[in-house]
Each structure stands twice: as C-alpha cells, then as structure tokens.
C-alpha cells in the first residue's frame, strides 16, 4: 500500500465522526469530495474539504461585501494571483468554492487529513491566503506556518504530478 492509500485509509476510519463534528472555530462546514467537485488530481487522499468559518475569515480581514485586496491580478475568470514575499499566492475556482494555494504547489490545509481549506468567494480566499502567508519573522524560513487565529492550519505540498494540471 503506498503512502497516499495509507493516508486515505487512516482518514476514512474517522471520517464519519469528523463529518458530523469538526469541533473547531476555524471550520464552518465539512463537505464531501463529490459534492465539492474536486478534480481527481487535487489532494487525492482527501475525502472532502473544509470551508473556512466566519470567525477565521473575519480574522483575515474579510467581511460580506469585501472587495478584492490590492495587488491581485485576474489571470482568468477562475484564477487570481498575487506576488507576495517571494511567492505567488493563488486562488482558483473549484465548483462553487475557491482554493487557497501558493505557486510552489502548496494548498492551505486543516490538520485532519490534511483536508484542503476552501472559501465561498474569491475575495475571502484572497484575504485568507494573505493572512496565512505572513511576513517571515527573524529566524524563520520564507514560508512560516500561519499565526494567530489560523495557527492550526498549515501549507501542504500537492503531489508533483498535479503540476501538469496547473
């Protein structure tokens, strides 16, 4: 059994309980993979996604009706990018949700799984991407863990073969 299958098997053992009670202020909702319309190549181990909570989004500076933060470029109708601190942040539409990613092929993830973190609007995803990609502090590498409210989240490498879909 390869590492991806082992990870998926471990997640599925606890999935039904997590689906009912994610027990965190960071998650508004847990949505199964088929309902989220995730492409097969995106986090193939994940049986679903988590949607960022209002609490987390408020901490990131997002509120209903927020505009797009400065510096974000619309590359396509379903893709926005922004260069920040030596990396390119990305938000992409996936079904009715928006991903939070970094160009070096990382996604923002919730520790259980890890499961991809999504938002319902591109503006919320942009604010969350910026909030979770803070300016590196002295002694840290270029891509530190998210801080403060989002400290339970982390950046996870997507599989190398997913690059061909970018």
Region 115-140 average pLDDT: 88
pTM of the predicted model as reported, rounded to 2 decimal places: 0.86
Q: Which of 13-27, 69-83, 148-162 has the weakest average pLDDT?
A: 148-162
Residue 163 pLDDT: 44
Q: Is the dihedral of CA 109, 29, 49, 112 positive or negative?
A: positive
Across the chain, mean pLDDT equals 85
Residue 166 reports pLDDT greater than 80 = no
Q: Is the pLDDT of residue 62 over 80?
A: yes
Which of the four pLDDT bands, split at 50, 70 and 90, describes residue 161? Answer: very low
Nearest partner of 29 among 48, 8, 10, judged by Cα: 48
Query: pLDDT tens, 17-60?
Result: 787 776 688 999 999 999 999 888 888 888 999 999 999 999 99
Q: How many helices (H) and strands (E) does the chain have?
A: 4, 10
Give burial (CB, 10 Å; 0-12/13-18/19+) of 46. Answer: buried
| Helix ranges restricted to H, the chain | 3-20, 33-36, 54-59, 122-131
Comparing CA positions, the residue from 112, 104, 113, 150 lying closest to residue 131 is 150
What is the per-residue pLDDT across 77-105, written as a single tens digit (0 to 9) for each?
A: 999 999 987 789 999 999 999 999 987 68
In the structure encoding, which two tokens stand for residue 10, read together? 């471990």
Q: Which pLDDT score is estimated for 159?
A: 67
Look up residue 60 and give its two tokens: 């990131």
Percentage of residues in the chain having pLDDT higher than 90: 47
């Amino acid at each position: 059994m390869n590492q991806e299958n082992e990870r998926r098997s471990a997640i599925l053992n606890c999935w039904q309980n997590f689906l009912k009670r994610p027990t965190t202020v960071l998650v508004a909702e847990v949505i199964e993979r088929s309902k989220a319309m995730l492409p097969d190549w995106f986090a193939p181990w994940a049986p679903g996604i988590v949607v960022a909570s209002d609490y987390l989004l408020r901490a990131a500076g997002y509120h209903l009706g927020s505009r797009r933060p400065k510096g974000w470029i619309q590359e396509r109708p379903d893709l926005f990018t922004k260069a920040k601190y030596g990396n390119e942040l990305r938000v992409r539409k996936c079904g009715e949700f928006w991903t939070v990613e970094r160009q070096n092929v990382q996604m923002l993830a919730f520790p259980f799984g890890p499961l991809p973190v999504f938002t319902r609007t591109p503006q919320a995803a942009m604010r969350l991407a910026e909030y979770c990609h803070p300016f590196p502090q002295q002694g840290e590498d270029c891509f530190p863990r998210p801080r403060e409210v989002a400290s339970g989240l982390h950046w996870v490498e997507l599989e190398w073969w997913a690059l061909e879909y970018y």
